[in-house]
């Protein structure tokens, strides 16, 4: 755990540098303060993520970037005295204490003030002094201050705080006409009668309550776990209800309108708000069938490992009747693709492909992901054993570098990062380059088999690098993985020819445009973002959502699958707006930004994302993020109540044929 925290901290500082934090004293302070000590035990894994986290009394521990930005804006020197308004967990006070000589911090909630005081003393921050009181009035007994920072948004800068600044002192505070619209200001006291204002950007904070702030009795400023700008739900929900296209059932819904909206798009990306909801799979299958039958789409590319998806591809094109020696979809999470919903679509696709005279003309099924390091190694070697035994021997030797880590490739990444192991980058790159040099010879023998081998070799190269950068931070590894998936998609389109068209099945977080979410603020990209940049209007992005029901998910990575209850959506989320429309299922086009409903939905709101892990006990921190739905997707598909996928295999308790899908 200590090593992982250290890796996270290093990535944490790199992330702050990328976001423009340049003050070395601030970066040093952020690296020194143990943020994990200021969050609840159930949120430890998120301690070094760049996001606010909930604490008691409906408050938050601020996003690290904001703490660094505001601390830097104070322009502190080692001997300075600082006042902080809004102690919260005490984290920002500890950061300030690493730079300034004395820190005075005020918290209006008695319980938070007490907890922060105890925590700061335990961590030996003896230069921090905590007071429970009205922060808008400051702490005049210890004034003047060289810097004052306010971690809550007020209607204007409190006069008491300005008066407690030294001449030349700086007040950093979010202010705005309402608790939903705030601008971060730096106010510098020029002399006893003059101040200078500088705008530092738009922000969102909990309201500044007090005599010179907002009044607690005002309805609009009740504290929230996570503040977002929202329109009043009732009229916007009515707009959604009037603009939406009702889905009476997945089997009977008329998709002709959707097909017109998709038009000549070359890539259609179909999302999901969870990795374990039956309706999402069934609706994606229904749309995909229409695209294949009426628009000539050539293949389906999914968020699955290449070797596993290759077995499905063999099955649907009937290019190999015997099962593989390795079980298909055996890696966690098996239920994501080994489920009855996928099986029904795969059987349909196999039957559809019977009309083609050649397997090369049939519709294919491919995996875009890169976790299958060792399955891909075996696939490359097996291919070379048949076409080039001498090169197969070389491949065994080169890939042998990775053999000791087969059971736990993540450990390989950790060891390589420490420098105690030289890493295997050179070997896997050489293997890919060798295959590339021989591509003309091999492709002439069997183009599709060579595509499979080359894709596996490319996957091994990228997976090796992925596991090495896992500990360099979530943004780096996320970006690398999605870039790999996009590159694989592009290679498939190139292989199938200039007129080929693809359907992509992935999670909303991969196919929705990252630039329209808080992912973009963290410097993250995704497949949807890359498709829009590369294909423009020829990429059509469709997101999915739900309000409540059940979902197949685990509590931790590698843990058993459970059927979990999906909590009703957050009151300030897009999902709640859709639920309040009263429709059980619908399609909502989002392309026309002149349309009133689209205009109203543009302002960022919370959106839910459940992956293979679902933790309802920390749902806001674990599963919600800010996004602008119309900028994220071209269309949104809604199912109010949903149910878990019908998993196959041991986890489902019904048994999965070892030769899935060949044994069916």
What digits encode the pLDDT tens for the residues 387-431? 677 777 776 766 665 555 445 555 545 555 555 445 566 666 666
Question: What value does the mean pLDDT of the chain take?
Answer: 83
Return the exposure string of 296-310: e unless at least 16 CB atoms fall within 10 Å of the residue's CB, then b: ebbbbbbbbbbbbbb
Given 192, 221, 250, which residue is the final one in a domain? 221
- Contact yes or no for 378/403 (Cβ under 8 A): no
In a domain, 22, yes or no: yes
Q: Indicate the pLDDT class of residue 176, thresholds 50, 70 and 90.
A: confident
Start-end of H helices in 354-473: 373-387, 389-399, 409-418, 425-437, 439-445, 447-469
Q: Indicate the pLDDT class of residue 459, thresholds 50, 70 and 90.
A: low
Q: Is the pLDDT of residue 95 over 80?
A: yes
What's the pLDDT at 373? 58
The DSSP output letter for 554 is B
In a domain, 494, yes or no: no
In a domain, 625, yes or no: no
Give the span between the Cα atoms of 320 and 330, in whole angstroms: 20
Q: Indicate the pLDDT class of residue 348, thresholds 50, 70 and 90.
A: very high
Tens of pLDDT, residues 227-264: 333 333 347 899 999 999 999 999 999 999 999 999 99
What's the pLDDT at 643? 96
Residue 474: count of CB within 10 angstroms of its CB: 17
CA dihedral 239, 245, 248, 250 (to 10 degrees): -130
Mean pLDDT in residue range 593-617: 90
- For the ranges 106-110, 465-469, 580-584, 628-632, the lowest mean pLDDT is seen at 465-469
In a domain, 25, yes or no: yes
Q: Tokens 């890939």 sit at which residue? A: 399
Q: Is the pLDDT of residue 221 over 50?
A: no
Give the highest mean pLDDT range of 160-169, 301-310, 618-627. Answer: 160-169
**Domain with 202 in it: what CATH number?**
3.40.50.150
Given 221, 242, 274, which residue is the final one in a domain? 221
Given 156, 191, 221, which residue is the final one in a domain? 221
What's the pLDDT at 620? 82
Greatest C-alpha distance within the chain: 89
The DSSP output letter for 271 is -
Tens of pLDDT, residues 543-588: 999 999 999 999 887 789 999 999 999 988 999 999 999 999 999 9
Q: Measured between alpha carbons, how far is residue 283 from residues 159, 237, 252, 427 in Å?
A: 58, 23, 11, 43
Q: Is the pLDDT of residue 627 over 50?
A: yes
- Contact yes or no for 509/526 (Cβ under 8 A): yes
Q: Indicate the pLDDT class of residue 53, thresholds 50, 70 and 90.
A: confident
Tens of pLDDT, residues 280-309: 999 999 999 999 999 999 999 999 888 888
What's the pLDDT at 331? 73
Q: Which of 51, 62, 243, 573 is catalytic?
A: 62
What's the pLDDT at 54? 76
What's the pLDDT at 407? 52
Q: Indicate the pLDDT class of residue 478, thresholds 50, 70 and 90.
A: confident
Mean pLDDT in residue range 350-363: 92
Give the span between the Cα atoms of 552 and 336, in whole angstroms: 9
Better pLDDT: 225 or 147: 147
Structural domain range at position 419: 370-473
Give the span between the Cα atoms of 505 and 312, in whole angstroms: 15
Tens of pLDDT, residues 105-130: 999 999 999 999 999 999 999 999 99
Tens of pLDDT, residues 29-43: 999 999 988 887 767
In a domain, 389, yes or no: yes
Tell me if residue 569 is catalytic. no
Share of the chain above pLDDT 70, in %: 78
In a domain, 203, yes or no: yes
pTM: 0.63
Mean pLDDT in residue range 149-173: 93
What's the pLDDT at 322? 57
Better pLDDT: 514 or 481: 514
Start-end of H helices in 318-362: 340-353
What's the pLDDT at 7? 46
In a domain, 523, yes or no: no
How many domains does the chain contain in total? 2
Share of the chain above pLDDT 90, in %: 49
């Amino acid at each position: 755990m200590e090593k992982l925290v250290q890796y996270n901290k290093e990535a944490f500082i790199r992330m702050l540098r990328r976001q423009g934090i340049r003050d070395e004293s601030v970066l040093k302070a952020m690296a020194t303060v143990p943020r994990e000590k200021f969050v609840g035990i159930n949120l430890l894994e998120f301690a070094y993520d760049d996001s606010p986290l909930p604490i008691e009394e409906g408050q938050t521990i601020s996003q690290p970037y904001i703490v660094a930005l505001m601390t830097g804006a104070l322009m502190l020197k080692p001997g300075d005295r600082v006042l902080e308004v809004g102690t919260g967990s005490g984290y920002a006070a500890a950061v300030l204490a690493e730079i300034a000589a004395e820190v005075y911090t005020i918290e209006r909630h008695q319980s938070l003030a007490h907890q922060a005081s105890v925590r700061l003393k335990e961590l030996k921050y003896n230069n921090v002094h905590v007071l429970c009181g009205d922060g808008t009035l400051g702490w005049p007994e210890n004034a003047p201050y060289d810097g004052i920072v306010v971690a809550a948004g007020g209607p204007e800068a409190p006069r008491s705080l300005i008066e407690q600044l030294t001449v030349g002192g700086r007040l950093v505070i979010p202010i705005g006409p309402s608790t939903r619209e705030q601008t971060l200001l730096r106010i510098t006291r020029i002399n006893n009668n003059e101040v200078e204002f500088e705008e530092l950007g738009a922000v969102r904070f909990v309201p500044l309550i007090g005599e010179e702030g907002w009044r607690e009795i005002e309805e609009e400023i009740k504290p929230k776990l996570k503040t977002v700008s929202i329109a009043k739900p009732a009229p916007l929900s009515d707009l959604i209800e009037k603009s939406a296209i009702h889905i009476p059932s997945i089997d009977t819904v008329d998709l002709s309108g959707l097909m017109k909206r998709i038009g000549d798009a070359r890539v259609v990306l179909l999302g999901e708000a969870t990795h374990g909801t039956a309706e999402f799979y069934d609706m994606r299958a229904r749309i995909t069938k229409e695209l294949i039958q009426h628009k000539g789409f050539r293949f389906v590319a999914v968020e699955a490992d290449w070797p596993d998806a290759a077995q499905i591809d063999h099955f649907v094109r009937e290019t190999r009747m015997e099962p593989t020696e390795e079980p298909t979809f055996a890696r966690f999470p098996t239920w994501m693709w080994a489920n009855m919903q996928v099986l029904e679509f795969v059987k349909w696709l196999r039957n559809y492909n019977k009309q083609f005279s050649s397997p090369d003309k049939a519709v294919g099924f491919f995996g875009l992901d890169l976790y299958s390091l060792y399955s891909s190694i075996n696939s490359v070697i097996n291919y070379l054993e048949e076409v080039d035994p001498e090169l197969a021997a070389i491949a065994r030797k080169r890939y042998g570098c990775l053999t000791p880590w087969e059971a736990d490739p993540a450990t390989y990444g950790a060891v390589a990062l420490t420098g105690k192991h030289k890493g295997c980058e050179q070997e896997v790159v050489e293997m890919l380059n060798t295959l590339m040099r021989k591509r003309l010879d091999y492709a002439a023998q069997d183009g599709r088999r060579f595509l499979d081998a080359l894709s596996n070799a490319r996957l091994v190269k990228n997976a090796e690098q992925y596991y090495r950068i896992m500990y360099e931070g979530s943004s780096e590894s996320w970006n690398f993985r999605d870039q790999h998936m996009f590159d694989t998609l592009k290679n498939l389109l190139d292989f199938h020819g200039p007129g080929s068209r693809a359907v992509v099945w992935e999670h909303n977080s991969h196919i929705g445009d990252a630039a329209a979410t808080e992912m973009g603020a963290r410097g993250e990209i995704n497949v949807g973002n890359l498709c829009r940049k590369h294909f423009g209007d020829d990429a059509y992005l469709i997101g999915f959502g739900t309000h409540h029901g059940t979902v197949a998910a685990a509590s931790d990575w590698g843990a058993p699958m459970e059927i979990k209850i999906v909590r009703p959506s957050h009151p300030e989320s897009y999902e709640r707006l859709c639920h309040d429309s009263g429709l059980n299922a619908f399609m909502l086009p989002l392309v026309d930004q002149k349309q009133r409903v689209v205009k109203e939905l543009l302002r960022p709101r919370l959106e839910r994302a459940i992956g293979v892990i679902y933790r309802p006990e920390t749902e806001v921190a674990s599963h919600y993020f800010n996004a602008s739905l119309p900028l994220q997707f071209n269309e949104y598909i809604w199912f109010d109540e949903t149910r878990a996928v019908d998993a196959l295999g041991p986890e489902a308790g019904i048994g999965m044929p070892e030769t899935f899908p060949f044994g069916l």
